[in-house]
Amino acid sequence: MSEAFYPGLKILQLEITDSRCEKIQSLPNLMVIEYIHIAQYFIWYPMKKCILFSLLSFLSIPVISQQDSRLLRFPDIRQNQIVFVFAGDIWTVASSGGIARQLTSHEGQELHPKISPDGKWIAFSAEYSGTRQVYIMPSEGGKPTQLTYYNDVGIMPPRGGFDYQILGWTPDSKRVLFRGNRTPWGERMGRYFTISIEGGLETPLPIPEGGSGELSPDGSKMVYTPIEREWRTWKRTRGGRAQDVWIFDLKNISTERITDNPMTDNMPMWIGNTLYFTSDREHTLNLYSYDLTTKQTKKVTNHSEYDVLWPSSGPGTIIYQCGGWLYVYNTVTNVSERVPIKIHSEGKQALIAFKDVSKNISSFGLSPSGKRALFEARGEIFTVPEKYGEIRNITCTQGIREMDPTWSPDGKTIAYYSDVSGEYELYVQNADRSGTPTQVTKDSKTWPFAPVWSPDGKKIAFGDKRQMLRWVNIESGKITDIAKGIHSDITYYAWSPDSRWITFTNGTPTNQTGIFVYSLEGDTVSQLSSGYSNDYNPVFSSDGKYMFFISNRDFNLSFSEYEFTYIYTNAARVFVAALTNDTPVIAPFRSDEEKGTDTSKDEKKSVEKDSDENKKVTRPPHVIIEVKGFPGRVMALLVLRRIIPH
């Protein structure tokens, strides 16, 4: 079947082997098929409907059914029952493990299930009513009952977590303890409430703000963290949001600080006369115990690869997630064991699907001629034609992310980062997708920033989260360190036309950002700008005689209409500086003057012809930079001043 057979018909041929597309002949939109082991034909109509053209030669429908299923989250344990969240729904299984049973199936996410002390109820938060609220249901499953009706704060970024986090129950199983984001100073901050299972208004606890926590066995006290940071994925932070564990006496309205380690201590629980919490004081989050009598702290689990997350206490046990599995720690025997759980699910997220990734573009670029564009979306790299032709997925890798693609100056190669090795490394690949990608860097240990080709196509400059600026020889893979960021990451860098210089932005001793240049021949770094203003984003002119950059130098004084203060707006504009003292000013100062009448009629005119005038310059200009006197050669360009600050 062809376009001649059916006008407007296009055939999409996919041959996927070892998680890699071998051919993509037609893809009308930025779409990627998220499945492997497909080797057959599909018909793609202009109205974006895909039908099966012939039988799939091989298709393994992914039914998730295996021992020790993973991606199990937010567990709780009570007596012989475990509840947890999988794929946004609540499941239950015996405390010894086995085949799990699904309790909820709503399209929204049900989170943080907690079993009541008497084992009759499960409290959780859900989105049944359009907002996240607190619900309870029978522990064996059944119709949920809504308890709260106060609107949640809505969708927050991942590090903000969720509103209505269920923390547990009162000891008598009559009230649910939850954390609600209801502080006047921030929608991500929350405080503690209890609400009766019979309904009515929730009752706030006399604690102004907090994160995770749990009531004492008699309900008179609460162990908690005054700071919430459980959803933030910062590792080993020692900053102001490194949590500590406290006890709040609900009767005497007094507090006692339990931990003061500079690392994070959070997710506290209270079992008998012992407090348990997670801490990364030895770099990986593990469970620790604190004896209320002896005041001694002891490490009780020893996970080294994955963090202990979302622990929850039961009578004599603590259940937690680690590496996507569930573990149960016995507080009597001090033994932690993984719970074998088997899940039968249709695996909706793993089914064959077409994804419109045009709204997920995170970086882009152009080919040297501008005939094709580069886009990165959902970890894949696409090339898109200017007007005619197909969109091509040039990576098409399952479970691997490629990012920050950039086209080589000769248009033959594309460089990008890939985490196929486990860390982000720099790769180069033929733009027509012929051959195999070539790995350029090795043993990288940190997050890289966008690569930038040198004009000669032999080198690439890049920064990283160690605040280093580096360049790599593509052929040999040799990496040369250029500079280290003084105040922050180095993310602005550009090559000179002759590939002999790299200009970049870095901090200066005056705490301003400045313009610097690095000489590849001399392996030296020089500061060009004065350091008396924020100068950033430098680039060379194509002839190698000037440097353009942005600087915050304008003081547009205004008086605020809300506060009794002055403000300065639109401080940035584009500036240019000649790279040598004898280079003519790019826009010389002009002044209209009266010159009088010129009566001379005989003016000598000379016409000079250069036989090489129309010849193309094949070699790049030789760039010379005179560092001394650079600030005095800077002048502002009369361009739009409204520039977004860096």
What's the average pLDDT block by block, 10 residues per block, for the chain (646 residues)?
35 34 38 33 33 31 57 96 97 97 96 98 96 97 97 93 97 98 92 97 97 97 96 87 96 96 96 97 96 97 97 97 97 96 86 86 94 95 95 92 97 96 96 93 94 97 97 96 95 97 96 96 96 95 95 87 84 93 84 77 49 60 93 81 54
Q: Into how many domains does the chain fold?
A: 3
CA–chain centroid gap for 294, Å, is 43
CA-to-CA dists, residue 86 to 92, 100, 109, angstroms:
10, 10, 10
| N residues, the chain | 646
**In a shared domain, residues 177 and 218:** yes
Q: Quick one: which of 284, 358, 362 has its CA closest to 323?
A: 284
* Single-letter amino acid, residue 559: F
How high is the pLDDT of residue 443? 92
Residue partners of 288: CB distance under 8 A and separation at least 6? 265, 276, 277, 278, 279, 297, 298, 299, 300
N- to C-terminal Cα distance for the chain? 54
Six token digits for residue 489: 């990451």
Domain harbouring 207, CATH code:
2.120.10.60
CA distance 150 to 20: 49
**In a shared domain, residues 131 and 173:** yes
**In a shared domain, residues 239 and 97:** yes
Q: Which of 319, 342, 365 is the last residue of a domain?
A: 342
Q: Which of 327, 342, 357 is the last residue of a domain?
A: 342
Per DSSP, the three-state class of 360 is helix
Q: Which of 311, 342, 373 is the last residue of a domain?
A: 342
Task: Decide if 429 is inside a domain.
Answer: no
The answer to whether 286 touches 303, Cβ cutoff 8 Å, is yes
How high is the pLDDT of residue 345? 86
The answer to whether 287 touches 301, Cβ cutoff 8 Å, is yes
How high is the pLDDT of residue 33? 34
**In a shared domain, residues 57 and 182:** no
CA distance 298 to 287: 9
CA-to-CA dists, residue 396 to 174, 201, 340, 392, angstroms:
54, 53, 34, 9
**In a shared domain, residues 53 and 110:** no
Strands 372-377 and 380-385: antiparallel
**In a shared domain, residues 149 and 54:** no
| Ordered DSSP codes for 417-479 | EE-TTSS-EEEEEETT--S--EE---S--S-B---EE-TTSSEEEEEBTTSEEEEEETTT--E
Q: Quick one: which of 5, 36, 20 has its CA closest to 353?
A: 36
DSSP-derived secondary structure letter, 565: S
The sign of the torsion formed by the CA atoms of 269, 270, 275, 276 equals negative
CA distance 536 to 517: 12
Residues 72, 73, 79: CA angle, nearest 5 degrees = 90
Helix (H) or strand (E) segment spanning residue 52: strand 50-52
Write out pLDDT tens, residues 560-588. Answer: 888 888 888 888 999 999 999 999 988 77
CA distance 242 to 227: 8
Predicted model pTM: 0.69
**In a shared domain, residues 147 and 226:** yes
Q: What are phi and psi of 506, to 5 degrees?
A: -150, 170
CA distance 484 to 490: 8
How high is the pLDDT of residue 600? 59
Task: Decide if 23 is inside a domain.
Answer: yes
Q: What domain range includes position 624?
A: 509-588+619-646
Q: Quick one: which of 160, 161, 187, 170 has its CA closest to 123?
A: 170
Residue partners of 588: CB distance under 8 A and separation at least 6? none
Question: For the stretch 8-30, what's the b/e string if a residue is b when 16 or more beta carbons lie within 10 angstroms of its beta carbon?
Answer: eebebebebeeeebeebeebeeb
- Residue holding tokens 């308890």? 147
Task: Decide if 140 is inside a domain.
Answer: yes
Residue partners of 264: CB distance under 8 A and separation at least 6? 229, 236, 237, 242, 243, 278, 279, 280, 281, 285
Task: Decide if 603 is inside a domain.
Answer: no
Per DSSP, the three-state class of 158 is helix
Task: Decide if 500 is inside a domain.
Answer: no
Write out pLDDT tens, residues 461-519. Answer: 999 999 999 999 999 999 999 999 998 999 999 999 999 999 999 999 999 999 999 99
- Residue holding tokens 């990627």? 32
Task: Decide if 367 is inside a domain.
Answer: no
CA distance 462 to 441: 11
Task: Decide if 29 is inside a domain.
Answer: yes
CA distance 214 to 271: 10
Per DSSP, the three-state class of 488 is coil
Six token digits for residue 632: 């005095």
**In a shared domain, residues 322 and 196:** yes
CA distance 452 to 490: 13
Task: Decide if 349 is inside a domain.
Answer: no
**In a shared domain, residues 182 and 318:** yes
| Ordered DSSP codes for 589-642 | ----------------------TTTTSPP-SPP------TTTGGGEEE-SS---
The answer to whether 405 touches 381, Cβ cutoff 8 Å, is yes
**In a shared domain, residues 125 and 197:** yes
CA distance 487 to 390: 45
**In a shared domain, residues 209 and 145:** yes
**In a shared domain, residues 48 and 190:** no
